[in-house]
Amino acid sequence: ISGSRRKPTFTSSFRNLAVGALEQKRKAAAHTDPTVTTAIAKYPHPPACNGTTKHSSNSWAFNKTLSNLIRKNILRFLDPERDISILKGTLKPGDIIHYVFDRQSTTNISENLYRLLPTSSPMKNQYHRRCAIVGNSGILLNSSCGPEIDSHDFVIRCNLAPVEEYSQDVGRRTNLVTMNPSVVQRAFQDLVSDEWKDRFLRRLQNLSGSVLWIPAFMAKGGEERVEWALRLILVHTVDVRTAFPSLRLLHAVRGYWLTNNVHIKRPTTGLLMYTMATRFCEEIHLYGFWPFPLDPQGRPVKYHYYDTLKYEYTSSSSPHTMPLEFRTLSTLDRQGALRLHTGSCDLDRGAQKDLG
């Protein structure tokens, strides 16, 4: 955390709400509570309980007081409205940028990137009552959660995940979507042929005015892929609003969670989006957050709902600590600060049915 920002700790009232209540329940719930089992802390096994929470889908109640406290504490570390993107007035073509996770390596602001920098925050003056953040876990398959996801006022998706062929389970609506540079290689074969360029272009065109959030300055190696994507956007006048996160964002988000004893190595895209969404969303619902290869009944769960990528976060070389993040989000779910959906959705009533 840079500048004169003071590193805050949770207020006593936050502790009473978010931590104290959990401690009081642990003795009674430890045998079924996935957030207190050491097995999940170390190994990728799913919680052996009904869904991620002990409450039924009808018993969850939004805790606005706690949500407001979380928002207030996060704002002491970062302002997501500002940090969501570097703005055009702060840089010029040719400026040197040091990568966030590799300070010895640099890149230059290209003409194309400069042209696509926003002149003001894409989230300026925005505030939504209900937001959905859609992760990419295979737990979404056969969930029928698409209509429920689309019913939210603002929908955030991760890593340019496909929606058209999975819309019954994941929905279609997108207001903001992230795109790591590696997506160009992993999902679109580095645009090696016209066919792959067309596929990538169609995916972008389907966004129809959404915010495309590209973490272009995190680590060396993706600059060429970012440039390919930006060139396509400009040449084909794709209707997207590009955003490039500030250089301080990831460290600020990590600092917030570390201060609150959540010892993550590097926040996942999902946790980043939740942290930022607290700024412009009142009530946040998470879908597709499930970092385990099995569901509670022991059935296989794909890492991503749309590809064959394997689970790799258990490796010591992995930058992420997904089970720890999941337990943290589960805690916040039980306290009513957010809603973590891991079951199927009722098409008639829009209610979640917990797994189990």
Active site residues: 320
What whole-number distance in Å separates Cα of residue 198 and Cα of residue 188? 10
In the block, which residue shows the tokens 């930022």?
A: 276
The end-to-end CA distance of the chain, in Å, is: 42
List residues bridging with 71 in a β-sheet: none
List, in order, residues 6 or more apart from 317 with CB less than 8 Å away: none
In 3D space, the residue among 134, 208, 154, 216 whose CA is nearest the CA of residue 183 turns out to be: 216
In 3D space, the residue among 70, 153, 140, 128 whose CA is nearest the CA of residue 335 turns out to be: 70
On the 0-12 / 13-18 / 19+ scale of CB atoms within 10 A, 325 is buried
What whole-number distance in Å separates Cα of residue 334 and Cα of residue 22? 8
What is the distance of C-alpha 334 from the center of its chain? Answer: 19
List, in order, residues 6 or more apart from 129 with CB less than 8 Å away: 153, 281, 282, 283
Taking residue 180's Cβ as centre, other Cβ atoms within 10 Å add up to 21
What whole-number distance in Å separates Cα of residue 76 and Cα of residue 64? 19
